[in-house]
Structure 1
Amino acid sequence: MKVYNTMTRKKEELKPMNKNRIKMFVCGPTVYDKSHIGHGRTYIAFDIIARYLKYKGYSVFYLQNITDIDDKIIKRANELDVEPLELAKKYESLYFKDMELLGVTNVNYYARAMEHLTEIINQIQTLLDKGFAYETSTGVYFDESKLEDFGKLSNRNIKDLNIHRVNPDLTKRNPGDFALWKKRDEEPSWDSPWGKGRPGWHIEDTAITETYFGGQFDIHGGGLDLIFPHHEAEIAQMESATGKKPMVKYWMHTGFLNVKGEKMSKSLGNFITIGELLKEYDPQVFRYFVLSTHYRSPIDFSDEALMQSKNSLKRIHKIMETVDELLESNITDENGHDEKYLQLLEDTKEEFLDAMDNDFNTPIALSALFNLVRDINKGINEEKISKNVFKEIKNLLDEFGDILGLTFSVESTKSDSDELVNILIDVREELRKKKDYELSDEIRSRLKDAGINLEDK
């Protein structure tokens, strides 16, 4: 099994540090606003990676941090006149809700930065004691000049990295020295050996990963935009504090998500939150859309691409529905074509797994799946297929669905749909009791648009 390592710029054989146990960390959100579809792309990709590693028999501990104190959070809280930690808690809850809807369910533990202040302070003190950090009137900073290989992940030297720096802090030794502790008198701030203040962004992650993983672990993931300065700073901090190299064996990064060819931004008016997306599309459709492009490649979001994903899912649901119907019919248990189709299933599974083994190539894996759908549809129309074969088809498609986090089973989809309709009917009945006829009529109208006629008796 091969994974692409950003550090070496090549695919490498996956060999965990500790037999079949894999420690994986992915940078979590800074919870100052609603999560957007770019976040969704990254976290779906790493959910798939975790799922497949588990499928292959690895024991995976997937850790993600929550940045719940940061300058962005404080700025937004001041604008809204609320407490920063209260704001962070609100958006953290919305993030968890979004991830659940998108089927991102394989994170073992979410570690909040503010619950690890002691570990953060201890790691900063270690860096000071070892001479990699220094204190000024404005804070504690990491001295990048102490490292000869700083910039090795982004493959750039310090001079190139610092050429575009603005607003230099004159108390720092070097322009690129980054904050480990920011001295602040205003709230929120916490006590430390260097006075009241709060931690820098980068130190939060390494203090958390050292707490749960030690100084080295297998996989570190995130978006391409985090390579510099965030991931470079993490490497500098951890390797300097622990003296162990490499901090991470495999660095993995997801490509950018664009909207109709342009970078997503609020100023361009193309900023789409996950909540806004899911008002228009089923979470499974967005998940399929993400998987239709390799996780390292840029992905272009558009309504046309989402509709294409929706139609592709419909094809799989249709074949599953047909298989279920035929399994309930009086077709024979065996016939002369069994060997042919069982071989087809075996070949398809091999092609699917080969794709996933090759740096989690979900587009190729999906291609293998659709070739199978095409051949089965052709077989149904042209020759008899036995009940035994249909059972194996259903089992294989369910297996693929589990790996990808997609629900191909029509029964599950229908069951969830029926439950949702029943909830809407109950809510509407309560509204009618309160004589809120306008909203209750709106619910009935929307249900009718969805093909569900509701009559009051």
Structure 2
Amino acid sequence: MNFKACSPDKIFQIFNTLQKQNVLFNKNQNYLGSWYICGPTVYDEAHIGHAKTYVQFDIIRRILKMFSYEFVQAMSITDIDDKILRRSKEQNIKPWALAKMHENMFFEDMKYLNVQPPNIKLRVSEHIAYILYYIQVMINKKFAYSVPNGNVYFDSQKYKKNYGKFRNISELKINQSSYEPSFKDPYRKHPTDFALWKVDKIYDQDEYDSKVFDASKMMIHNNNTLTNSSLYGRPGWHIECSVMSNLVFGPRMDIHSGGRDLIFPHHENELAQCSCFYEGGDMRHLEDGKDYEMADIWMHTGHLNNSNDNRKMSKSLKNFMTLKDFFAPLDRSQRHANKIESYNSDHFRMMCLLNHYRKDLTFDLDVTMNKSVSLLNRIDNFLFQSNVYAHTAGQGENHKIFDNHGNMSYCCPIDEVHLEEILAKTILEVDSHLRNDFDTPCVMQALTKLIDEYDKNVNVNSSNPIPSISDIVFYSRSPFVVAKLRYFVENLLLDLGFNFSGMKRHQLTVHETKYETNDSEILSQALTKESSVEILLNFRNNVRSALLDSQQDISLENLKEKLLKHCDSLRQTMTDLGVDIKLLEMVARIFYIILSHYNINT
């Protein structure tokens, strides 16, 4: 669904975390922009908190594409890290083998979630030489210092006037243990100084990949500012993103994104490093008198909190759920409540759409997912029924519509003008919500109201009298406006990244379906085309034979007995297959055929 027709300005109001307010994003038509996203540290499986961040950014990326804004997206892959080294030692596996295994698992998870892959993957292990060069430049500019043990630190006091753009440092209780508790060094000058290069560690140097040493040895260390011991270290976490993002996009990019937990200190430190690296150098795209901001928009997602402790899901707290566990088959009680055997990527994406990307979400498996499943079922029934409506025009009494739970309704006259007005209003509302900092919860509310109006106009309530066949035949119906509603809803969801897993939106067979009462499981699916044709052909042949026999002086009573026997047989066959046939209606039709036959031949 392209919104260019109803959005002549295409201006987006997007919240910029750095400026703490909405800013205008208004580029030329068919704009191709730059987007850097902080990716995973690949030492373990991804959990649903990670997935929320990447799915919500995928939704935003797709929304921008709907307005003809496309992006080259680069993602960092942290494959050198203390956590990787610890885990590799625990599992007795090479750190790079561990990192590669979990990187592959991460992108497989993203593929299942229908998250578009980044255009560029930036692995830290492949950029060591660039990182060391970047560090050397900052040392030369006096914004970084090396210490006797080989570690290198960013000098926050030298940069003090600009440090704390994301968060007011004076409001923080900063000390050496709280700021960077996993890495203590008596040579560090100030608690807010952070590591650019780490050497002090408990691991032997032969645990490092040879390419790290090779890249380090290739560097020319002017004035011995990088000591020989620095050759056997690894980069700090913050420096890697500054270097890799600048390497790809230069000093300025359109969007820089990550989870809210990265705002401080990670993105604070990224911005500080880049500001120092480019000071007095290449600051293109920077207006006179304006502070360097590295990105036009800093974008952050809210946390996914565990309902048990209301704290952010994290591996350190051990309060997370892996994607593998989330998509595992549900137990019987959960299947009964949700009428599904397991959750899928569409259920998860709906959960993300119902929560604004900047807000935290407290996750409870039953409560949170029931809401998502319920809305998806509602949409599925709308797409299914509207599809049947549009494809069965002019078929008289066959205008029965069944939702995916077997509930029946009849098509009725519609107020075309009203539905056209509601559709136009909904399109404008959706357009406005999308351009207002990607307000997807309001978008889903607008779609729900549209479906409500469809239900009011198209379906006869089950409490109303069932219309007669003659009434249905002469109903004035217009499938065009219904098809337009369906087109809008379906294509909007496709544009937002749904793949309609397990949904029946294209099913056209109209039938009554019986369900078991024990666990709401379907007794049988609808008849296949081949089997239904064969059964009905056999029934027709039996009826034809009975009618032909009637011409051989067979009494009307005997003919009636034969026809009823064939009807009973057909009804039983269809019932066994899960299709309920109303015997009296069928008998009435057969006797109508008989009377017509006798009238013609007498």
Q: TM-score range by the shorter chain?
A: 0.7 to 0.9
Structure of greater relative contact order (alpha carbons < 8 Å, 6+ residues apart): 1
Pair 1:296-2:355 in alignment: no
C-alpha spacing 1:19/1:149, structure 2 compared with 1 (3 Å): farther
**Alignment partner for residue 360 of structure 1, among 408, 427, 438?**
438
The superposition leaves residues 233-269 of structure 1 with CA deviations (integer Å, 9 ceiling, x where unpaired) of 1001111112331211211111111121522355766
Tell me the C-alpha RMSD between the 2 structures: 2.7
Say which is worse superposed, 176-185 or 157-166, in terms of deviation: 157-166
Which of 127, 149, 153 lines up with 1:141 in the alignment? 153
Deviates more, 1:268-277 or 1:306-315: 268-277
Deviation track 1:396-439 (CA, whole Å, cap 9, x = no partner) reads 01221133212459877789xxxxxxxxxxxxxxxxxxxxxxxx
* Equivalent residue in structure 2 for 1:61, among 72, 97, 106: 72
Deviation at residue 229 of structure 1 after TM alignment: 1.1
Aligned match for 1:153, one of 146, 166, 176: 166
The corresponding residue for 2:369 is 306
1:215-294 equivalences in 2 (<5 Å): 215-243=251-279, 244=283, 245-260=292-307, 262-263=310-311, 264-265=313-314, 270-279=319-328, 280-294=342-356
Distance 2:93 2:363 in 1: 34
Q: Which residue type is aligned with residue 180 of structure 1?
A: L
Q: Quick check: 335-344 or 223-232, which moved more?
A: 335-344
Is 1:17–1:217's contact at 8 Å kept on the other side of the alignment?
no
Note the C-alpha offset of 1:67: 0.5
Q: Which residue of 1 aligns with 2:457?
A: 379
Matched to 1:144, the amino acid is S
Counterpart secondary structure, 1:235: helix
CA contact (8 A) 1:30 1:68 kept: yes
Alignment of 1:305-454 (within 5 A): 305-331=368-394, 337-381=415-459, 386-407=478-499
CA positional deviation for 1:15: 3.8
CA contact 1:253–1:296 (8 Å) conserved in 2: yes
Residues 156-180 of structure 1 show CA distances to partners (whole Å, capped at 9, x for unaligned) of 3497444734564111222221111
SS in 2 for 1:144: coil
Deviations 1:304-357 (CA, angstroms, capped at 9, x unpaired): 21012111100001000011111210259xx98433322211110111111111
2:22 aligns with 11
In the TM superposition, what whole-angstrom CA distance separates every residue of 1:35-85 from its partner, at most 9, and x where no partner exists? Answer: 011101100110011111111111311211111110000000000000001
Closer, same or farther: CA 90–449 of 1 in aligned 2, 3 Å: farther
The more displaced of 337-346 and 14-23 is: 14-23
Structure-1 separation of matches of 2:115 and 2:253 = 22
Please give the per-residue CA displacement for 1:186-213, whole angstroms capped at 9, x wherever unaligned: 2216232432221111111111101111
CA–CA distance in structure 1, aligned partners of residues 191 and 42 of structure 2 = 28
- Structure-2 change in CA distance of 1:16 and 1:115 (3 Å): farther
Contact 1:27 1:221 in 2 (8 A): yes
Q: Percent identity?
A: 35
Question: 1:67 is matched by which residue type in structure 2?
Answer: T
User: What is the aligned counterpart of 1:202 among 225, 229, 238?
Assistant: 238
- 2:208 is the counterpart of 1:188: yes
Q: Please give the alpha-carbon distance, in whole angstroms, between the structure 2 residues aligned to 1:92 and 1:232.
A: 26
- 8 Å CA contact 1:73, 1:88 repeated in 2: yes
The answer for unaligned runs of 5 or more in structure 2 is 1-11, 284-291, 329-341, 396-412, 461-474, 508-519, 526-602
The aligned counterpart of 2:331 is: none
Write the distance in 1 (CA, Å) between the matches of 2:523 and 2:22. Answer: 49
Q: Scaled by the length of structure 2, what TM-score is found?
A: 0.65
Decide whether the 8 Å contact of 2:346 with 2:498 is kept in 1: yes
CA gap 1:257/1:451 in 2 versus in 1, 3 angstroms: farther
Select which of 179, 182, 189 maps to 2:195. 179
**Equivalent pairs, count:** 419
